[in-house]
Amino acid sequence: MWFAENIGSQIGRATTAGAFAEYAAPARSYPDAIANGPDGALWFVGRHLIGHATTAASVIAFGAPDARTNASGAIVAGPDGTLSFTERSAGKIARIVSP
């Protein structure tokens, strides 16, 4: 199971055996929600960014589409190969196509 750690700006993983691993997200990114993407990677949203993490814990961050974006609260993969997420501060729902 993968999860976002808002306070520590990390992405974490827990195994069924109870082991935990944590991987650094960009500083002050405050990851808030995470989802499995159609590309097999994990996608997360945080303050002013959308992040992409492989299951080998390689983390890449992309800038948010709007400078006011506080992309937090939800991210979900769609059946068309896109991911939709909330831009809470901008009052929008945005969509990104996974590479």
4-52 pLDDT, tens digit per residue, is: 887 878 888 898 999 988 888 887 778 888 888 888 888 888 877 888 8
What is the distance between the alpha carbons of residues 74 and 21, in angstroms, rounded to a whole number? 23
Closest by Cα among 54, 56, 50 to 85: 50
Phi/psi region, residue 32 (left: phi>0; alpha: psi -120 to 50; beta: rest), is alpha
**Close Cβ partners of 80 (under 8 Å, ≥ 6 residues apart):** none
Domain residue extents for the chain: 2-97
39-97 pLDDT, tens digit per residue, is: 888 888 887 788 888 877 677 777 666 666 666 678 889 888 898 888 777 777 878 87
Residue 45 confidence (pLDDT): 86
CATH C-level class of 2-97: mainly beta
What values do phi and psi take at 20, rounded to 5? -120, 145
Query: For the whole model, what pTM was predicted?
Result: 0.77
Closest by Cα among 20, 27, 24 to 11: 24
